[in-house]
């Protein structure tokens, strides 16, 4: 438990340090992000979803029961 606590504190310290060290200056405008609009973006999202459905229904055999 002590090892995990020390590890947590180290990682938290690095995260907080990185937040303040690498933030943008006050005059910067935030970047604009768009949602998935192209075919490649939709495929990038739907292929893993289809693979998970395949694993769920075919390989494991988990089905919804009424």
Per-residue pLDDT of the chain (66 residues; tens, 9 = 90+): 899 999 999 999 999 999 988 887 777 887 787 776 788 888 888 999 999 988 888 777 766 665
Instruction: Please tell me the pTM assigned to this model.
Output: 0.41
Residue 45's Cβ-side half-sphere holds a number of Cα atoms within 13 Å equal to: 7
**Sign of dihedral through CA atoms 21, 22, 23, 29?**
positive
Question: Domain for residue 64, yes or no?
Answer: yes
Question: Domain for residue 47, yes or no?
Answer: yes
CB atoms within 10 A of CB 31: 6
Question: Domain for residue 8, yes or no?
Answer: no
Compute the distance between CA of residue 34 and CA of residue 57 in angstroms, rounded to an integer.
33
45 within 8 A of 36, measured Cβ to Cβ: yes
Question: Domain for residue 5, yes or no?
Answer: no
Question: Domain for residue 20, yes or no?
Answer: no
Q: What is the DSSP letter of 23?
A: P
Q: Provide the domain limits for residue 58.
A: 37-66
Domain count of the fold of the chain: 1
């Amino acid at each position: 438990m002590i090892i995990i606590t020390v590890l947590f504190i180290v990682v938290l310290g690095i995260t907080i340090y990185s937040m303040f060290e690498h933030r943008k200056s006050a005059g910067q405008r935030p970047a604009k992000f768009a949602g998935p609009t192209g075919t490649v973006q939709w495929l990038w999202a739907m292929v893993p979803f289809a693979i998970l459905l395949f694993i769920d229904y075919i390989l494991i055999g988990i089905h919804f029961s009424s």
